[in-house]
Chains A and B, each alone.
Chain A
Amino acid sequence: MRRVWAVATNTIRQAMRMKVAAVFIVLLLVLLPVMGFTATGDGTLKGRLQTFVSYGLSLTSLLLSLLTIIVSIYTVTSDIEHRQIYTVVTKPIRRYQIILGKVLGVIVLDVALLVLFAGIVYGVTAWLPKFVNATQEERQAVDNEFYTARASLVPPLADVQKEVEATYRKLSKEDLATIYPNMSQEEVFKQLTNRKRLEKRAAAVGQWLVWEFHNVKVRDPNQSLFVRFKYDVSVTPQDEQVYGRWQVGDPRQFQQGAQGPGQTPVWEQTRKDIVRKFHELEVPASVVAKDGYLAVGFYNPPPLNDTVVLFPLDDGLEVLYKADTFAGNFLRAALLILCRLVFLACLGALAASFLSFPVAILFCIVIFVTGTASGFIVDSFGYMDQNISRIYTYTVQAILQLLPQFDKYNPTKFLVPARLMTWSLLGEVALVMVMIKGLLLLALALLIFSFRELAKVVV
């Protein structure tokens, strides 16, 4: 271990001597504070903070990722190219210890830089409101919707399989051919399922929709919870607005046989909102029942509306409540970035164990970019695999699954809308990205490096 550490400290020195490292560090040190005062977003305080946190962390993550790739590759390939490795491997140190030391050095460097830069981003975010003019209202909004970590409850999608099957059976061959021309059974099922589910989330005039949630754990009953929703309509009203009567609380207490005491308040409001835009209802958290039960009801009021109101399947409705502090969320976001960096350090070590510097860099950048766009790529294959052979599904997509999915676990996706990133999510990412994929890459790197002819010159 002492030897591994000797290599690690030497790697850190080597990295600090690299111009790239210095350039990146200076760049970040200059850009981050500047961004704090130039990023304005939509002009509101919240928009400003969101833009800064999003750009600041993304830039930090991007530059540290590139730095990690470059340093982890350079430290290995440079030693081989300039042959310092001759004097190192001939010492009583195993080759795998050398690679471990290098990766460890890069990770220690990453941790230090991440602490520094995430610290700057956090500092600017925390202090920014003190230096800008903002109305009391804006500050209130920022406290509720930015400086917090809100857990989100999304109603589960309705189970409609039986209904879909029944409908499908009723369809005749002619129907199928006319309504769903050139579609496989699978695709027809998909469409039917979506339609049935949407039906469950549509309220005709004079109709109630009720969503039930369990295990709602509010940190503090004196705070608020938020119902975030988006309307869609069958007929768009002239002013593009619809009415809605909302009730949030525990309806069980009004049912027959319910016990008298232990009642919780029920929040109620009728309001008018623009369609196809997000809106939030702020509800006192005390409406949640003691056992964590919560129901949200929407009523489509007859004289006011004359259209069916729908809540889109993916983001039509969710309940948000404060589950943690902004600081806690930010810490996890930084750790998420660290997972990414550790993965990249392992990847860099692997690439450097058998490739020369420029090729290894190219290799890693390609994987990095692919990982950053992995969702897009997986999706595009998803559309393809029904038409083209299934081979894609089992080869290309399997390989894509092996790639890191940086975009899926993007920290700004949590911080900007003040979404709670749970420890379990972080744990899952750490497990998959670091413990499984990262270690796999590292093991491969160690293996290749151990058996490689280090003095072999390839021209």
Chain B
Amino acid sequence: MEYAIETIGLTKIFSDWWGRARVYAVDDLNLQILPNEVFGLLGPNGSGKTTTIKMLLGLLHPTKGHALILGGDGTDPKISKRIGFLPEESYLYRFLNARETLDFYGRLFGLDSKTRQVRIEALLEMVGLKAVASRPVGTYSKGMARRIGLAQALINDPDLLILDEPTTGLDPIGTRQIKDLILKLAERGKTVLLCSHLLADVEDVCHRIAILYGGKVQAQGRVKDLLQQTNKTQIVTDTVSDAAVSRIRQILSDEHAEYEVTAPMEKLETFFIKTVVEAQQQATPTSGAVSTTQIGDFLTAGGRQENILDKLVSTSVSEKTPAEPVQTEAVQPREVVPPTANKDLLSKLTQAGASPQTERVSPTPVETPSEVRQEEVKKGVLDKLTKNDAANPPSAIRHPPSKDGGSGHA
């Protein structure tokens, strides 16, 4: 069996100029990533994710062990031809504009000018930078630079995509888009190595994950296996009558089960995207990245032009994710936010940064009741991993008054 990426006892020790102060950045790492797998490499800052990638790509020499990538050496042009790489930060030539940047990288891949042209336009469209494509990338905001970095990684239609913290600096739509892209690529048989400390990113898209700490793998396995709580059951229904609810409560009490009845919350991500789409439909001008985007044609073999956003707002996205979404929600219904409060929400969102789930959002009408919700706070692996309390919801009410239970609507 050939792995897409295989590391055998991979070790990297950094020492200072005198050979002192040794840092075990990566310590005896054994990873096996299968072709057509979306693999998440998780870990807190400084756990060795980036160092691992650098060794895979030949930017650093391993102190011990080997790294095989697509069955060979990452520096071999035959292999690097099939790899797309988005580094930790988008290291771009500041004096080139977006189009020139992509053209340069396209030329490094030896693509002919026609292919380059087609792909550049498709990618610019996809990452929403078409309108600003003639500005030097040195003037871009971090997120915009990130987008062009992503486009750069895709210009060769890679078989293996290595993304190092792809979502840092990106707005939620960009984040969502990257996740969609990863899923799309996986559908097409590509392999993705996703490094992140943002748990939500990884959780939504990865088939398997490994959690690094101190350069060592602490846990590894399928996301489903790692996260599934075998001792809990979740039932999601359309709004049902109070009578039905109390009958169910009765049954559950008879079973002596601990339970909780709430209205499912919409994910903030979904809500945010919906808000921005509405704003865009009203043609609010922006000098930033435009988010009505498709995934580059040449990346989706079928070539079917589809608007990702349609799917995003219809919440069907979460069904597609291979991993079970682990949503933790505040269940207390709060006063309804009038439509004008959307701006508030946006500003809160930017402060909240990378962990939108922790925000308390007033429930808004749920469009598709099929959205899967889970009531329990999971004190799982993911929680322990980060000091970041992202996974801890502000409140989860175990036994809410039965009357309020199912009514999230105003």
Please list the residues of chain A having a beta carbon within 8 angstroms of any beta carbon in chain B: 2-3, 5-7, 10, 13-14, 17, 82-95, 453-456, 458
Select one of A87, A94, A456 contacting B60, CB under 8 A: A456
Contact assessment for B80 and A90 in the assembled complex, using a CB-CB cutoff below 8 Å: yes
**CA separation between A7 and B96, bound complex, in Å?**
13
Q: Which of B87-95, B334-342, B355-363 contacts A (4 or more CB under 8 A)?
A: B87-95
Known contacts A87-B91, A87-B152, then 15 further A-B pairs from the complex at CB < 8 Å, ordered by chain A residue:
A6-B104, A10-B93, A17-B95, A83-B91, A84-B91, A85-B91, A86-B91, A87-B92, A87-B105, A90-B74, A90-B83, A90-B85, A92-B77, A92-B80, A453-B59
B61 at the binding interface (Cβ < 8 Å) = yes
11 A–B contacts from the bound complex (CB under 8 Å): A3-B107, A5-B107, A6-B104, A6-B108, A7-B108, A10-B93, A87-B105, A87-B152, A89-B57, A89-B58, A95-B75
B110 at the binding interface (Cβ < 8 Å) = yes
Task: Report B-chain residues with C-beta under 8 Å of the C-beta of A91.
Answer: 80, 105, 108-109
B247 at the binding interface (Cβ < 8 Å) = no
Chain B proximity of A2: nearest CB distance (Å): 6
Contact assessment for A94 and B77 in the assembled complex, using a CB-CB cutoff below 8 Å: yes
Name which residue of chain B comes closest to A10, CB basis. Answer: B104
Name which residue of chain A comes closest to B149, CB basis. Answer: A87
Chain B proximity of A109: nearest CB distance (Å): 15
Select one of B75, B83, B95, B110 contacting A14, CB under 8 A: B95
Task: Report A-chain residues with C-beta under 8 Å of the C-beta of B149.
Answer: 87
Name which residue of chain B comes closest to A450, CB basis. Answer: B75
Please list the residues of chain B having a beta carbon within 8 angstroms of any beta carbon in chain A: 17, 54, 57-61, 74-75, 77-78, 80-81, 83, 85, 87, 89, 91-93, 95-96, 104-105, 107-110, 149, 152
Knowing A17-B95, A87-B85, say if A6 contacts B54 (CB, 8 Å). no
Chain B proximity of A7: nearest CB distance (Å): 8
Task: Report A-chain residues with C-beta under 8 Å of the C-beta of B85.
Answer: 86-87, 90
Contact assessment for B93 and A92 in the assembled complex, using a CB-CB cutoff below 8 Å: no
Contact assessment for B108 and A86 in the assembled complex, using a CB-CB cutoff below 8 Å: no
Knowing A90-B83, A92-B110, say if A455 contacts B60 (CB, 8 Å). yes
Name which residue of chain B comes closest to A1, CB basis. Answer: B110
Contact assessment for B110 and A3 in the assembled complex, using a CB-CB cutoff below 8 Å: yes
**CA separation between A13 and B87, bound complex, in Å?**
23
The 3 closest A-B pairs by CB, nearest first: A92-B77, A6-B107, A455-B59
Chain B proximity of A76: nearest CB distance (Å): 14
Task: Report A-chain residues with C-beta under 8 Å of the C-beta of B78.
Answer: 92
Contact assessment for A86 and B59 in the assembled complex, using a CB-CB cutoff below 8 Å: yes
**CA separation between A453 and B59, bound complex, in Å?**
6
Task: Report B-chain residues with C-beta under 8 Å of the C-beta of A5.
Answer: 107
Contact assessment for B54 and A92 in the assembled complex, using a CB-CB cutoff below 8 Å: no
**CA separation between A94 and B95, bound complex, in Å?**
24
Q: Point out which of A10, A85, A90, A453 has the most chain B C-beta atoms below 10 A from its C-beta.
A: A90
**CA separation between A52 and B389, bound complex, in Å?**
74
**CA separation between A10 and B91, bound complex, in Å?**
15
Select one of B83, B89, B95, B107 contacting A2, CB under 8 A: B107
Contact assessment for B54 and A3 in the assembled complex, using a CB-CB cutoff below 8 Å: no
**CA separation between A95 and B126, bound complex, in Å?**
31
Contact assessment for A89 and B59 in the assembled complex, using a CB-CB cutoff below 8 Å: yes
Name which residue of chain A comes closest to B107, CB basis. Answer: A6
Name which residue of chain B comes closest to A78, CB basis. Answer: B93
Knowing A13-B96, A82-B91, A83-B91, say if A92 contacts B59 (CB, 8 Å). no
**CA separation between A121 and B235, bound complex, in Å?**
87
Contact assessment for B107 and A89 in the assembled complex, using a CB-CB cutoff below 8 Å: no
**CA separation between A307 and B42, bound complex, in Å?**
98
Knowing A86-B91, A87-B91, A90-B83, say if A453 contacts B108 (CB, 8 Å). no
**CA separation between A82 and B336, bound complex, in Å?**
49
Contact assessment for B93 and A14 in the assembled complex, using a CB-CB cutoff below 8 Å: yes
Task: Report A-chain residues with C-beta under 8 Å of the C-beta of B17.
Answer: 458
Contact assessment for A93 and B87 in the assembled complex, using a CB-CB cutoff below 8 Å: no
Name which residue of chain A comes closest to B77, CB basis. Answer: A92
Knowing A2-B110, A6-B104, A10-B93, say if A90 contacts B57 (CB, 8 Å). yes
Task: Report A-chain residues with C-beta under 8 Å of the C-beta of B59.
Answer: 86, 89-90, 453-455
Q: Point out which of B85, B87, B107 has the most chain A C-beta atoms below 10 A from its C-beta.
A: B107
